[in-house]
Amino acid sequence: MKPPPHPLEQALRARVRLLATTLRPATVRQYEHTVRRFLQYLREAFPDVRRASDLRRDPHLLGWLEHLWMRRVRRSAKPLSNNTRGKHLICLRKLFDLLADHAFPPRPGLLWSEDIPRPDQTLPRPLAPEDDARLQTELCCRNDLLANALLLTRLTGLRIGETVDLSADCLHHLGGDQWALHVPVGKLHNERWTPVDEPVRSIVARLRFLATLPPAASPEFLLPRPKGRGVLCGQLRAALSETATGAGISAHIVPHQLRHTYATTMLRAGVSLPALMKLLGHRTANMTLRYVEITQKDLQREFHLARQNPRHLLPLPASAVAPDPDLADAPTLLQRLSATIRLLDLFRQQNGPDQDKPLQLLARRLLRIRSRLEKLVSVTKSEK
């Protein structure tokens, strides 16, 4: 028998419907899930709580924090992750703020910022170069619709939802040999243009041809979806798992790892962090840094490159670096003197105004000496 509705349920669901006018359906479902869990907890632990004004931080909200920590996922040994618990707390705190204009508003300070756990910092999950090569080879050998879609995802760094939502005319010519893939508005409410090369253009042409084969459906999309978008995403995940097994990869692979692999490959190829952020469609560089993996091999390569070409050091003139004591003619002396004056100017800039006065006097003397030497050289040349 279905339990009677909780008095708080009507007020909370009304606020969820208000949020639904500006939020995505997936986010609204998260709010609805939080409301169901919280009301279920109140029915079981505190059945006497009837209104939002009856709620207290201790014991109601603190008890729910403990309930989220102790709750098991599908009877497994692990509790809810920090990300999941944090989402529940953020959603509930937002609903409490929206209940401020209710007839029986909740008390302020029921949930604090300190109650929200820090999200789990997961490591990047790019494929190893050997596994990446084997996977791409296996996808090329299969050469069907799903394999080409996965290969397109790997070579462009798209999310699986973005790959599914690509339009039939997503490939655009920008002039010359420049081509770009138009990625529609997606997860972050933005669209972008991803540069592509000849292999990606061939894959798009292949997908356009495969989309015309029966059962053809959804002509406005690059990938046909006769059974809906969700079914197509599930088919891509299953195809990736099957392809990885055929390639001899024992680890479980999900489509988002292809995006991590693309980001790491682009960074190792020399793409700057701001450009990589634009390629991936991120809003902040911090999110992009979560996608790339910096191995010890990468650190060693960057370290030795920095030692060979130190960009923070100014190159010195060749005469100042390797003086030759056997040369003592006037032009050589003039060149060495000019190099000394330049070094003295750099030294003055680094030491600040405390020692500037004596160094300035020395620089003036050197300038006078160089001026006289230049006149001597000019006179010598005129006599010859």
What is the tens place of the pLDDT at every residue in 254-263?
A: 999 999 999 9
Dist CA 194 CA 171 (whole Å): 10
**pLDDT tens digit string along 109-125?**
999 999 999 887 777 78
Highest mean pLDDT among 50-54, 186-190, 300-304, 310-314: 50-54
Q: Is the pLDDT of residue 53 over 80?
A: yes
What's the CA gap between 252 and 236, in Å, rounded? 14
Cα-based distances in Å from 106 to 32, 44, 288, 324: 19, 20, 39, 85
Cα distances from 290 to residues 21, 84, 201, 264, 294, in angstroms, run: 31, 19, 29, 10, 10
Domain boundaries, the chain: 7-115, 129-295, 319-383
pLDDT at 299 over 60: yes
What integer pLDDT is reported at residue 314 of this predicted model? 47
Distance (Å, whole) CA 222 – CA 212: 10
Checking if the pLDDT of 351 tops 70, the result is no
The pTM assigned to this predicted structure is: 0.67
- Is 237 exposed, middle or buried, given 0-12, 13-18 or 19+ CB atoms closer than 10 A? middle
pLDDT at 47 over 70: yes
Mean pLDDT of 99-118: 90
Kindly tell me if the per-residue pLDDT of 11 is higher than 50.
yes
pLDDT score for 78? 67
- Report which DSSP code applies to 1: -
Tokens 């309930």, residue? 67
In the chain, what is the straight-line distance between the N-terminal and C-terminal CA atoms, in Å? Answer: 117
CA distances from 167 to 76, 82, 184, 237, 259 (A): 41, 37, 8, 20, 20
Integer Cα distance of 88 and 212 in angstroms: 44
- Quick one: tokens of 345? 């100017």
CB atoms within 10 A of CB 334: 16
Q: Distance between CA atoms of 285 and 239, rounded to whole angstroms?
A: 32
User: For residue 279, what are the CA distances in angstroms to 53, 183, 191, 193, 199?
Assistant: 48, 10, 11, 8, 18
**194 sits in which H/E element:** strand 192-196
**CB contact at 8 A, 366 and 341:** yes
What the block records as the tokens of 314 is: 């100014």
Q: Which of 1.20.120.1770, 1.10.443.10, 3.30.1280.10, 3.40.50.300 would CATH assign to domain 129-295?
A: 1.10.443.10
